[in-house]
A and B are shown apart, each in its own frame.
Chain A
Amino acid sequence: MTVTGPPEARPAHGLAVDFVVVSVPDQLGEIAQRVRDGRLRTNIGHVAPIDDAVAALNPTQRVAGKTIIHVRP
């Protein structure tokens, strides 16, 4: 299963799937509910304002977690 591009090698006895994510409200609701009730912990790393977004999205060192840009403070 890959979302980074088509697999370079096909498994001999299996199925390789390359897929594009779609925005499905029902699934978003399931995910949000899991965050609310503690079943799902988020992995958010650096948070930067939009004025600093270009630098935040061009990190000079590896940043753990998802980078989020705050467009409104």
Chain B
Amino acid sequence: MKAIVVTDPAAGTAGMKLTQRPDPDAARLASLSGASYGDVIVEVHASGFTGNELEWPSTWTDRLGCDRTPSIPGHELAGVVTALGYGTTGLSVGQRVFGLTDWTRDGTLAEYVVVEARNLAPLPGDVDFTVGAGIAMTGLTAWQGLFEHGRLRAGQSVLVHGAAGAVGSMVVQLAREAGAYVIGTGRTDHRQTALTSARTCSSISTTMPWKTSAGSTWFSMSSEARSRSGPPAWSEPEEHW
């Protein structure tokens, strides 16, 4: 099968190569002999890659600490189940699915991927594969940050850095829906994105940027502040709306 592989941790994304890798073995998957209990094979239609994946130890070594290169990166997917492993429940062959795959196994920048059925959700027929792959990591990151780790409740305030970004825009929307007061930071030139696609500000006062009833505020980070290392720092708000 066609796949993107990485072999050198020092090379970064520039070390990615398009190559041929063996197809997953469906017969072995369905037998008792493999260590693949509960796995399915998914024909990948759309795949997503997270920017710093190649810095994660799990990209290079498996759970036993053994070198697993050449590794296939990309762990976000939407596709169609083509084979079921022994013991798999909840999914059927031909089913549209989406989700994230195990960080320590070969990923989704390939024509097929082996993934645990318990990591996949059905992809509704009216949600296309591109969207399915695009919301798995961004949506789950936002959801788990806000609701599981942050235990967000209505009326609380949420400060979202990079509010116009792939994850940030999800955070803004989910936090707003949950009744939070959302403050976004980002580049000035991304403000319109936050406004139109992430709905950062539906009811903001232009005269009282900090404490409006239920709206959002946008703070623009200067390029100088962005490039500094260490704790986030930003300029005085350039514009509010």
Contacts and interface: CB of A to CB of B under 8 A. Distances in A.
A44 to B, nearest CB: 4
Contacts of A71: 2, 44-47, 79, 108-111
A8 B181 CA distance: 26
B48 interface: yes
A32 B166 contact: no
B136 A28 contact: yes
A50 B136 CA distance: 19
Interface in B108-142: 108-111, 118-124, 126-127, 129-141
Contacts of A39: 173, 177
B52 interface: yes
B54 to A, nearest CB: 10
Which size bracket describes the interface of A in this complex?
Answer: 35 or more
A41 B121 contact: no
Nearest to B116: A23
Contacts of B164: 43, 64
Contact of A3 (B44, B99, B167, B199): B167
B219 interface: no
Contacts of A1: 145, 149-150
Interface stretch (B9-17, B61-69, B208-216): B9-17
Nearest to B78: A68
Contact of B99 (A25, A40, A65, A70): A25
Interface of A: 1, 3-4, 8-9, 17, 19-36, 39-45, 47, 50-51, 53-54, 57-58, 64-72
The 6 closest A-B pairs by CB, nearest first: A28-B121, A23-B100, A31-B139, A23-B119, A66-B166, A25-B121
13 contacts: A17-B150, A25-B99, A25-B121, A31-B135, A32-B98, A32-B127, A35-B131, A40-B170, A43-B198, A50-B4, A50-B47, A69-B74, A71-B46
